[in-house]
Copies of this chain bind each other. A is one copy, B any other.
Amino acid sequence: MAYGYRIGTLPITTVQRLPSYLRVVRELQRNGREVVSSARLGETLRLEAILVRKDFGYLGITGRPKSGYRISELITAIERCLNWQRVSEAVLAGAGHLGMALLGYQGFAHHGINIAAAFDVDPERVGVSVKGVEIQPLDRLEPEIAERGIRLAILTTSPEAAQAVAERLVAAGIEGIWNFTGATLLLPAQVIVQDQDIASGLAVLSAKLNARAAIPASLETP
């Protein structure tokens, strides 16, 4: 139940790899390539070729023996699966350091989203513009979401404020929350919450460094 089921027919792990595939094949397309083999993709992304083929199989993409997979077909299928063909609008709640960084990030258009409005409680931040988006007071959250019909929110408040702001987002009609706060949100089941916890990545790195320091090099991977 708590376990990460599938998304439609796709394993979650496959979906997680889609952006990497997309980045590489877009790059190949810019360089004029039209086909690519699973072996080549695996080499650039440090993945087993068979894993790449399985992933594409789940997507329903079929390649051709001898040549490989058609790049344009890959791009279309991945973008459709992620709904990244058209850019959808999102709101950003919490314009601290991280919120500002995400606002300033150029690449979201390639990832299917555009931050249409941003909000913060701090009066000092309200009125500041980043990339043409002006930070608004939190009272404007509900009307902006309603008027623009926005479904997706990026939550970058403090962990303390996260739950209360998330509830307002949901009440205003938001269906999906990309949660950077580290807080565990308690929301109705139909709201999709994706936790983006950078601490877990750091934990893995720390534990690996720690484990390696503790083991003499001669005993590694026996």
Which residues between 19 and 46 of chain A lie within 8 Å of chain B, taking CB atoms? Answer: 19-20, 23, 44-46
Docked Cα-Cα span, A2 to B13, in Å, equals 13
Task: Collect the chain B residues with CB atoms within 8 Å of residue A211's CB.
Answer: 7-8
Interface centre among A96, A197, A204 (most CB of B within 10 A): A204
CA separation between A15 and B204, bound complex, in Å? 6
Q: Which residues in chain A, 97-121, are within 8 Å of chain B measured between CB atoms? A: 97-98, 100-102, 104-105, 111-113
- Determine the chain B residues whose CB is within 8 A of the CB of A203 once the complex forms: 15-16, 18-19, 82
B176/A192 in contact, CB under 8 A: no
Q: How far is the CA of A42 from the CA of B206 in the complex (A)?
A: 24
Give A192-220 as 1s and 0s: 1 = Cβ < 8 Å from B's Cβ atoms: 10111111111111111111111100000
B residues less than 8 Å from A82 (CB atoms): 203, 206-207, 210
> A84, A98, A197, A199: which has the most chain B beta carbons within 10 Å?
A199
Chain B nearest Cβ from A125, distance in angstroms: 13
Within the assembled complex, what's the spacing in Å between the Cα atoms of A212 and B189?
A: 12
Interface size in chain A (residues, C-beta < 8 A): 64
Residues of B within 8 A of A209 (CB): 83, 151-152, 175-176, 192
Closest to A108 in B: B202
A interface SS class: helix
Interface residues of A in 154-186 (CB under 8 A from B): 175-176, 178, 182, 184
Q: How far is the CA of A38 from the CA of B100 in the complex (A)?
A: 37
- Taking the closest CB of chain B, its distance from the CB of A84, in whole angstroms, is 7
Give residues in A with beta carbon < 8 Å to B: 1-2, 7-8, 10, 12, 15-20, 23, 44-48, 51, 81-84, 96-98, 100-102, 104-105, 111-113, 151-152, 175-176, 178, 182, 184, 192, 194-215
A-B contact sample (12 more), CB < 8 A, given A83-B213, A97-B105, A176-B209: A2-B48, A7-B204, A15-B207, A16-B204, A19-B199, A20-B200, A81-B207, A82-B207, A83-B209, A101-B101, A175-B209, A175-B212
